[in-house]
Amino acid sequence: MSTEGALSRSRLLPSLLGILLLLMGLALLAGGVKLSTLGGSWYYLLAGIGLALTGVLLIMARRAALGLYALVLFASTVWALWEVGLDWWQLVPRLAMLFALGIVMLLPWFRRPLLTTGASPMGTRALGAAVVIAGIAALASQFTNPGEIKGQLDRDSVPGMTNTAPAMPDGDWNSYGRSAHGDRYSPLAQITPENVGKLKEAWSYRTGDLPGPNDPGETTAENTPLKVNGMLYVCTPHSQVIALEPETGKEIWRFDPKLSTQKAENFKGWAHMTCRGVTYHDDAVYASAEQSPTGTASNTPASTVCPRRIFLPTADTRLIALNADTGKMCEDFGDKGQVDLTANIGGFTAGGYYSTSPPAVTQNLVVIGGHVTDNVSTDEPSGVIRAYDVHTGKLVWNWDSGNPDDTTPIAEGQTYTRNSPNMWSMFSVDEKLGMLYLPMGNQTPDQFGGFRTPESEKYAAGLTALDIATGKVRWYFQFTHHDLWDMDVGGQPTLMDMKTADGVKPAVLASTKQGSIYVLDRSNGQPIVPIKEVPVPQGAVEGDFTSPTQPMSDLNFVPPVLKERDMWGVTPFDQMLCRIDFKSLRYDGMFTPPSLQGSIVYPGNFGVFDWGGISVDPVRQIAFVNPSYMAFKSKLVPAAEVAGGPGRKSETEGVQPNKGAPYGVILEALLSPMGLPCQAPAWGYVAAVDLTNNKTLWKHKNGTVRDSSPVPIPLSMGVPSLGGTFTTASGLAFLSGTLDQYLRAYDVKNGKQLWEGRLPAGAQTTPMTYTGKDGKQYVLVVAGGHGSLGTKQGDYVIAYKLPD
């Protein structure tokens, strides 16, 4: 073999790497030119030039390649540190690829053919120094935790503060939020921070209700079961109710409503198949003043047919009353056990109206709202709230936010106000004050409000308190003025007594998508925690307007305004593309108006807080929360162009038509080409708030990308969660809603994760806890996956307990 031939072969690898660097450089150069013309960073343009020239020099086997690459790596390290500091998850993706290539170029077998032409060692030394500097920066960033707050709660109680939620057996969970106050606080203390690490699966049950080929939309499991009347009551996405034995998971009875699809199979993408919960009513609770939440005995005679009832909202627009003992329909309620919720609402697209959340129940009434599919048209069903006699199903009152003063039951043949704001989430109830608390949505379409009426504007995107007996408005407070961002109030309001500088006050806490937690006196709607009107971006499209200010609570988890440097990706290429996307869109901070250009919505319409709400510990006077941070983008599309668009696939895919409005809208998450969020992690946290001073005690990133990344590595980056939490008297909190498939337990004093249980499917639900007849405390979760989030689907109900 000739020396020339051997040298030629030894230069093959440098040449191949040179070609790779040349292509990488040209890609960065092209994207860098685009980014710089948008007013963005010049780094990618300059780095592209440096990499391309390095590639050319390697192909030519020139000694200058090592020195030039050293300059590129060193400059990239300085630039990255200047932009993000020692933030591991932002620093490493900027440098990892360049660092790895630098290591390769330092290898003797790689350098040898270059050095044979008389290469100076200076280039090698410079490259070695650049690699060491980049490596030290990456190693140092491992010890930082940007965005996290470390703290410690130093008390087990606040003197004089107790749990004032409606009384029930400690081991029961008889309402969606455990009590009608929506506090999600259990007085159980058998499972503690000291022994929770020993939790083991006690039993697992499969409902058999899985997504089907004829489902009208996405199947999402969001159920929190009840434990009451000696049974567990589970509802499935297709509105089946199953009663289980709490200690074993053995099925006791099952009710299948035999859903009518209303021909919704022809309208895929228009609906969610989900059931967040059912509601329980027991005549015996109201039989005496001692048991009654109101402190007075009921004058209404108990039912001889169904003294204990389960109320089920169905996906085909019915409200069904079941005998809680047997699962048979209560024949004395409505029409042989059911009420038709299509009555008086007018026409609607199949699958476009139904109730996804459990109704509220009081001494004499069952009260229900409804989900109206977003962004279909300007002529959708009313968001009316209806109260029915808990025994007969007779309509007692109706509150229509489009006609708010007249709550007299609507006359036959009349129709509620079309398109008035709805309440799709969960009520809270204070029977002693005689009020229902409604977290309100807005008038569709979400991103254009030019046609909204004064009545719909008044009650939208806020909290409304209704008189239980009459349905009349007692007070209201709006959290988003003229909402153009789908900032409807998703979480169930939480009621508790709160210790303040002015004494103990009856409070309602409303968590919101924009990140504020509004704390009001629930008796009159006056703020307990200050709320300020802050200026926001202006400039709506023609035919619409924006509010000059928006209310922000002093208690909030509002994220900082996004910057270009916050755009993220696992490689420099998707980082650059995310930056181009960011600079191409309109973004002036939170509440940037929707636009034809396309606008960034941050926080997005999944919110900082969504329907999972928050939980509290009324004895320790803390709130346990799980804020998420995901940016979305919305682009208005002129009506004339909507018909030629890709069409609607779901509420977050394709062109939302907004028929009757001048614009449709495209809504989607702000994602990189790899399907990961464009904004930098962390995307999800757990945190605790000291409610005596409204300060964040601690805040830690939460969850891994194990089940949402191409490679199933459990990197603890902090992922979004959809679903709620609960706390216990022993000082624990539980959460299952993260994108990875785990149920986790935390110490409420410092946020330390104490235990996790691997789940067979996604669990975008709120877990719960109860005591069985065996005296054991159980923790239970429904793991069925979520269609919108793409988590693994299933049909599991899983209970955990401590070993015997």
The token duo for 678 is 């464009």
Cα distance between residue 134 and residue 136, in whole Å: 6
For the chain, counts of helices (H) and of strands (E): 10, 43
98: left (phi over 0), alpha (psi -120 to 50) or beta: alpha
The overall longest dimension of the chain from CA atoms, in Å, is 108
* 248 in Cβ contact with 801 (< 8 Å): no
Residue 106, classified by CB atoms within 10 Å of its CB into exposed (0-12), middle (13-18) or buried (19+), is middle
Q: Sign (positive/negative) of CA torsion 647, 648, 652, 656? A: positive
* 705 in Cβ contact with 682 (< 8 Å): no
* 33 in Cβ contact with 579 (< 8 Å): no
Beta bridge partners of 553: 531
269: left (phi over 0), alpha (psi -120 to 50) or beta: left
Q: What are phi and psi of 110, to 5 degrees?
A: -80, -40
The token duo for 762 is 């996604």
Alpha helices (H) in 182-313, listed in sequence order: none
Residue type for position 286? Y
Cα distance between residue 102 and residue 50, in whole Å: 14
DSSP sequence for 392-429: T--EEEEEBTTBTT--SPPPTT--PPTT-----S--EE
Beta bridge partners of 503: 500
The residues, any chain, with a CB within 8 Å of residue 217's CB and separated by 6 or more, are 264, 268, 269, 270, 271, 272, 273, 351, 650, 787
* 652 in Cβ contact with 668 (< 8 Å): yes
The rounded radius of gyration (Å) of the Cα atoms in the chain is 29
The token duo for 497 is 């007594």
Instruction: Give the residue carrying structure tokens 């590129």.
Output: 72
Beta bridge partners of 532: 552
Is 486 designated active site?
A: yes
Cα distance between residue 405 and residue 79, in whole Å: 61
Which residue among the candidates 316, 400, 486, 610 is catalytic per the annotation?
A: 486
* 442 in Cβ contact with 461 (< 8 Å): yes
The one-character DSSP state at 721 is: B
Beta bridge partners of 68: none
* 741 in Cβ contact with 785 (< 8 Å): no
* 330 in Cβ contact with 375 (< 8 Å): no
Cα distance between residue 126 and residue 671, in whole Å: 37
Beta strands in 251-301 (DSSP E): 251-255, 272-273, 279-282
Distance of alpha carbon 313 from the chain centroid: 22
Cα distance between residue 600 and residue 580, in whole Å: 13
Residues serving a catalytic function are: 486
